[in-house]
Chains A and B, each alone.
Chain A
Amino acid sequence: MNFSLLKLLWIIAHLLADVLETIFYFGLEFRENFFNFIKKYTKSSWNHDSSDQRHQIELHLKNIKKIPKHLAVILNADSEKDIDLMQLTNLVDWSLISGVNFISFYDYKGILKNQLASSFHKFIQQHCTNNTDNENIVWGLNFQHMTDNDGIKFPHRNGFKRHIVVNIYSSEDGHEKFDQLLRRELLSDKGSSGKTVDCSKFTIDYIDEELSKLYGQMSDPDLTVYFGNICCTMGFMPWQIRLTEFIQISYKLRTLSLDKYLKVLYKYAKCEQRFGK
């Protein structure tokens, strides 16, 4: 076949995909508006019933064999309006019930971390206190300036109370974290012990340990969920994501629902890790 003909076919395929994508977007918008419209008029029956949700999650948990210890959420956000704090709070709430120990939110521009952190903090406190005990939420390092604690404060283990560590990250906590590591490792040593740095101390375990000091108490993310059709780390924790599973949760943050969340948990439970073997 002629090469230019192939190119033409390729272009047609793209055009087709454009058309389909547009229809899909319209459908999505339409569905959302439609549900909002119904919600407005039948407010009472559509309100989130938290005890109902809890019950639903607990029912499903019996069938899910593996729950991620650390769930990371990569937000595909360019501006404040892309971030719906209510949905993020839902995620925290659901994860707490499911038994996730750490939840991290990441957006590469740091909108959540730099502009919305305090309102997010308030939001979670307001909404999660209704359903769960507020003591269960532990604020991660990037919230510290708001909670005036030094270091992460874990609740005392009284009874069988679950807790979840909530944290927010931006691209400053990715590659740029290594700036700190380099300075700390290479410069402080030099000042104290004379002239040279001991190069043999740099092993994978050593760096892993030093980094975990910078990130605070945290296990590596087991599961990362992303929104939209593009799967990309966007610079999220380059060291820690080596074994993380990437699963799309929903097309948009606004259309996230409990069903979608549970579906992701099921999908994650099926993943098998071999560790090189």
Chain B
Amino acid sequence: MHLKLNISILILSLLLLQTGTDDFRSRVIFKKQKVTKWALRSYQKHFNGKCLELEIKEVTVYAFSIENFKRSPEEVDTLMTLAREKFAKVMEEKDKLMEKGVKLQVIGNIKLLPEDLQKSIADAVILTKNNEKSVLNVAFAYTSRDEITNSIKTIAEGINEQDLEADDLNHSLIDQCLYTRQCRDVDLLVRTSGEMRFSDFLLWQTQSTVFYFTEALWPEFTLWHLLAAIFYYQRCYIRTKILKSYFQEKTPTISDNKRVVNFLSKVDKQRYQELVEIQKSRVV
């Protein structure tokens, strides 16, 4: 029972699901841009630092789904401009970021984004890649189905280049080729605004994740809501531990297969190389 009370052991990675900014529109009518800014500010106000204090090592936010490209062009433009500003600010405050040891990762199909945004993402990711204290994953141009498809494609390339053989194919290889390959397991998923679905977010990674719903809209979400979510997670802790160990037994281990390990490190290198190329393309 005492384990249940120790916050620092339990929360390794916490995941927040943001429905987007239009949750707020339904209740209060504001200018769209204003709302988005508000949402970002609320993130800064309540999360930067707080999660570290609570010893939450990893936070993932769903910022922009591939499906969101379906919104009106002006709205997409506004969101992109905001993202640009945000990443530019990250670079401005890079000393602070490095001092805090925050590792920033962007998960998603960033090739779908405007080129200049890709560059600023690459800049920020490469800059912080060696930080270890805490991790902030931003899901940008992300859907889980796209991620799984991409993972299968990566494996297919591995087969074509004869890095992999028939015996190596299993679902834990898919797991290892996802965008979240470097992330910890997700323990808690928070969904705001009273919705009760995943909306194509981390479907593959959440088999033993506790799903927490809250009626609060994202801009209203405060530290108290976060604490309530953590409390709920701790109440469910024993159950999730059973699930986790069950699934772990079922997952084939690939760490002792040398061929697969080599293949994965090659994938890592390739992905890093792609980022470097995006970063360099600015000079041209």
Cβ-defined contact, A276 with B67, below 8 A: yes
Task: Among A179, A231, A242, point to the contact of B144 (Cβ < 8 A).
Answer: A242
Cβ-defined contact, B153 with A202, below 8 A: yes
Identify the closest chain B residue to A171 (Cβ): B250
Cβ-defined contact, B152 with A202, below 8 A: yes
Cβ-defined contact, B160 with A235, below 8 A: no
Q: Chain B contacts of A232 at CB under 8 A?
A: 206-211, 236, 239-240, 243
Cβ-defined contact, B5 with A10, below 8 A: yes
Cβ-defined contact, A182 with B196, below 8 A: no
Residue A271 interfacial (CB < 8 Å):
yes
Within 8 A of A (CB), among B189-222: 195-200, 203-204, 206-213
Q: Chain A contacts of B149 at CB under 8 A?
A: 202-204, 207
Residue A199 interfacial (CB < 8 Å):
yes
Q: How far is the CA of A277 from the CA of B19 in the complex (A)?
A: 11
Cβ-defined contact, B169 with A175, below 8 A: no
Q: Chain A contacts of B210 at CB under 8 A?
A: 230-232
Task: Among A11, A171, A185, A275, point to the contact of B156 (Cβ < 8 A).
Answer: A185
Identify the closest chain A residue to B230 (Cβ): A10
Nearest 3 pairs of A and B residues by beta carbon: A276-B67, A235-B207, A242-B200
Residue positions of A touching B, CB distance < 8 A: 7, 10-11, 13-14, 17, 21, 78, 108-109, 171, 174-176, 178-179, 181-183, 185-187, 190, 195-197, 199, 202-204, 207-208, 229-235, 238-239, 241-247, 271, 273-277
How near does chain A come to B69, taking the closest CB pair, in angstroms?
Answer: 8
How near does chain B come to A162, taking the closest CB pair, in angstroms?
Answer: 26
Residue B148 interfacial (CB < 8 Å):
yes
Q: How far is the CA of A10 from the CA of B212 in the complex (A)?
A: 19
How near does chain B come to A72, taking the closest CB pair, in angstroms?
Answer: 12
Majority secondary structure of chain A interface residues (helix, strand, loop or mixed): loop
Majority secondary structure of chain B interface residues (helix, strand, loop or mixed): helix
Within 8 A of A (CB), among B109-162: 143-146, 148-149, 152-153, 155-157, 159-160
Q: Chain A contacts of B246 at CB under 8 A?
A: 108-109, 171
Q: Chain B contacts of A246 at CB under 8 A?
A: 196-197, 211
Q: By CB atoms of chain A within 10 A, which of B166, B199, B207 has the most?
A: B207
User: Interface residues of B, CB < 8 Å — how many?
Assistant: 58
Q: How far is the CA of A37 from the CA of B198 in the complex (A)?
A: 42
Q: How far is the CA of A213 from the CA of B72 in the complex (A)?
A: 35
Q: Chain A contacts of B71 at CB under 8 A?
A: 276-277
Cβ-defined contact, B207 with A183, below 8 A: no
A-B contact pairs, 22 of them (CB 8 A): A21-B235, A171-B246, A175-B175, A176-B171, A182-B152, A182-B170, A186-B159, A199-B156, A207-B149, A232-B208, A232-B240, A239-B203, A241-B198, A242-B199, A243-B197, A243-B198, A243-B200, A245-B196, A271-B195, A271-B197, A276-B65, A276-B71
Q: Chain A contacts of B245 at CB under 8 A?
A: none
Task: Among B144, B148, B160, B250, point to the contact of A197 (Cβ < 8 A).
Answer: B160
Q: Chain A contacts of B59 at CB under 8 A?
A: none
A174 touching B207 in the complex, CB below 8 Å, given contacts A242-B199, A244-B198, A245-B197: yes
Q: How far is the CA of A178 from the CA of B235 in the complex (A)?
A: 32
Residue B231 interfacial (CB < 8 Å):
yes
Q: How far is the CA of A247 from the CA of B242 in the complex (A)?
A: 22
Residue B68 interfacial (CB < 8 Å):
yes
A234 touching B231 in the complex, CB below 8 Å, given contacts A242-B199, A247-B196: no
Residue B4 interfacial (CB < 8 Å):
yes
Q: How far is the CA of A195 from the CA of B159 in the complex (A)?
A: 10
Q: Chain A contacts of B173 at CB under 8 A?
A: 182
Q: How far is the CA of A204 from the CA of B143 in the complex (A)?
A: 10
How near does chain B come to A7, taking the closest CB pair, in angstroms?
Answer: 8
Q: How far is the CA of A124 from the CA of B207 in the complex (A)?
A: 30
- 14 extra interface residue pairs, beta carbon distance < 8 Å, beyond A234-B207, A242-B144: A13-B231, A181-B152, A196-B160, A199-B160, A204-B145, A230-B210, A232-B239, A232-B240, A232-B243, A234-B208, A242-B198, A245-B196, A245-B197, A271-B197
Q: By CB atoms of chain B within 10 A, which of A190, A230, A275 has the most?
A: A230
How near does chain A come to B61, taking the closest CB pair, in angstroms?
Answer: 17
Identify the closest chain A residue to B242 (Cβ): A78
Q: Chain B contacts of A271 at CB under 8 A?
A: 195-197
Q: Chain A contacts of B207 at CB under 8 A?
A: 171, 174-175, 232-235, 238
How near does chain B come to A15, taking the closest CB pair, in angstroms?
Answer: 9
Q: Chain A contacts of B229 at CB under 8 A?
A: none
Cβ-defined contact, B250 with A275, below 8 A: no
Q: Chain A contacts of B199 at CB under 8 A?
A: 242-243
Cβ-defined contact, A229 with B5, below 8 A: no
Identify the closest chain B residue to A203 (Cβ): B149
Q: Chain A contacts of B236 at CB under 8 A?
A: 229-230, 232
Residue B60 interfacial (CB < 8 Å):
no
Cβ-defined contact, B247 with A204, below 8 A: no
